[in-house]
Amino acid sequence: MPDNLPGRAVRHLDGSPDRLLSVATAAVPWFAWRTHVPAVLAGAGRAHPELTTALGELTVWLRRADELVGAEVAGVVEDHLALAWRLLSFRPGVAARARLAAIAAEAAQLAGWQAFDGGRGELAETRYRVALQAARIAGDDRLHAFVLGATAQLLAAEGEPGEALALTTVAGRTAGPGATPATAAFLAVLAADAHARIGDAASADRAFATAESAMGLIHPVMEPPWLERFDRAELLGWRSAVMLRLGRPAAAGAAAMERLAILAPELVRQRALALADLAASHAARAQPGPAAEAAGAALELGRSVGSVRVVAAVAALRAPPERSVG
C-alpha cells in the first residue's frame, strides 16, 4: 500500500468486516464472501481472482444503492474502500493490483460524493484525494479524469469556481483524445456551471452546447460504469442549476419539470434536487404557492436520503434576503 496516504484517510479493517460481508453476501451472492475475505485478511490465503471480480460487482451495486437510499449505505461504502486498500497492501500481481486500485478509486470517489451530498466537504476532499491516488496506481486516465471532475464540482460548491474551472481543464487533458462522450459531457457541464458561477453567461452557454452535442454521441455500453447514469435526466439537472445561476428561472423551471417527468420514482435524491430547482425557479418568478409546494416535496425526499445539499437549497429559499449595508 502506498505510504503517502493522507493521514487517517482510510479506516483499515480489523478482523472480520461483518457489516460489509453481510451486504456483500446479499448483493453479490455467487461469491463466498464469508469464506474468502476473512482468510485473506488473516493472511491465511491469497486474494482469489474471483474476489476482485466480486468487488467490482459490489462497487456497481453500491453505486446504484446510493441512488436509491443515499446515506444509508455510506458506512458500507467506507468498509468497501477500506477492504480494497487492505488487499492492495498485500502486494498482488500487476494485473490484480491495477484492478484493485481501480476498485478503490471508484469506492473512494463514491465515498467522497456521499460526503459532499451530506455536507461534509472536508471528508469529501480527503476521499477524493484517495481516489486520485488510486486512479493513478490503476493507470486509468478516464477514471482519473472523472475524479478530477468530481473534485472540481466540490470546489465550485465551496465557492471556488475559478479553481474548479481550472481543474476541469486539467481533467479534460487527463482524459485525452480517447475520452468517451459521457466523459466529455460531464466535464462540459462542470465547466458550464463554473462559468455560470463566475457570471460568464456566454462561456456557460458554449460549454453547455458542447455537453449537449456530446450527449448525442453516448452509447451506454461503451461508457465506464461510473458514468452509466449520466443520461438526459442528469443533463437536465445541470441545465436547471446553470440556468438558475444565470438568472433564467423560466428555463430552469422547464428543465426541472422535464427532468421530473423522465426520472424513475425510485431515484429519490435526483427527484429531490429537481424539485429544489423547481422551487427556486418558482421563487425567482414570485410564485410563492408553487415554490412552497415544490420546496416541501424536495425537503421530504432530501431528508429521506440524508442529502444536506437538498435541505440547504430549500433553506436558502426560505432565508430572508440580505440587506445592503451603507
pLDDT at position 265, please? Answer: 93
User: Can you tell me the distance from the alpha carbon of 248 to that of 205, in angstroms, rounded to the nearest whole number?
Assistant: 12
Span 55-70, average pLDDT: 93
Judge if 134 and 61 occupy the same domain: yes
Q: Are residues 3 and 46 in the same domain?
A: yes
In the chain, what percentage of residues exceed pLDDT 70?
91
Q: Would you say residue 68 has pLDDT above 60?
A: yes
Are 7 and 99 within one domain?
yes
Same domain, 180 and 262: no
C-alpha to C-alpha distances, 225 to 66, 167, 248, 269, 311, nearest whole angstrom: 14, 22, 33, 19, 29
pLDDT band at 44 (very low <50, low <70, confident <90, very high): low
Q: How confident is the model at residue 197 (pLDDT cuts 50, 70, 90)?
A: very high
Please check the confidence at residue 46 and state whether its pLDDT lies above 90. Answer: no
Within a domain: 325: no
- The reported pLDDT for the residue numbered 94 is 83
pLDDT of res. 319: 58
DSSP per residue, 91-118: ---HHHHHHHHHHHHHHHHHHHHHHHHT
288 in the same domain as 268: yes
Q: Say how far apart CA 218 and CA 186 lie, in whole Å.
A: 11
> Residue 235: inside a domain, yes or no?
no
Judgement on whether residues 162 and 73 belong to the same structural domain of the protein: no
- Give me the pLDDT at residue 18, please: 83
- pLDDT score of 10 more than 50: no
- pTM of this structure: 0.89
pLDDT tens-digit readout, 223-277:
999 998 899 999 999 999 999 999 999 999 999 999 999 999 999 999 999 999 9
Residue 19 lies in a domain: yes
Across the range 80-100, mean pLDDT stands at 86
C-alpha distances (whole Å) from 166 to each of 151, 173, 209, 214, 280 are: 11, 11, 19, 21, 28
In this structure, the answer to whether residues 67 and 126 fall within a common structural domain is yes
Same domain, 192 and 124: no
Going by pLDDT thresholds of 50, 70 and 90, the confidence category of residue 321 is very low
Looking at the structure, tell me whether residues 157 and 32 fall in a common domain. no
Host domain of residue 290: 248-315
112: pLDDT strictly greater than 60? yes
Q: Could you say which of 109, 139, 169 is where a domain stops?
A: 139
Residue 173 lies inside a defined structural domain of this protein: yes
**Residues 139-190: tens digit of each pLDDT:** 999 999 999 999 999 999 999 999 999 999 999 999 998 899 999 999 999 9
Q: What is the DSSP letter of 30?
A: T
Of the residues 230, 261, 286, the one at which a domain ends: 230
Instruction: Report whether 234 contacts 253 (CB < 8 A).
Output: no
Together in a domain, 1 and 28: yes
Q: In this structure, is residue 172 part of a structural domain? A: yes
Last residue of a domain, one of 82, 111, 139: 139
Quick one: 89 and 19 in the same domain?
A: yes
Tell me the residue type at 310. V
Question: Please, what is the average pLDDT of the chain?
Answer: 89
Assess whether pLDDT exceeds 70 at residue 5.
no
Q: Is the confidence at residue 8, as pLDDT, over 60?
A: no
**Structural domain count, the chain:** 3
Region of poorest pLDDT, from 244-248, 298-302, 318-322? 318-322
28 belongs to a structural domain: yes
pLDDT average, residue stretch 298-325: 81
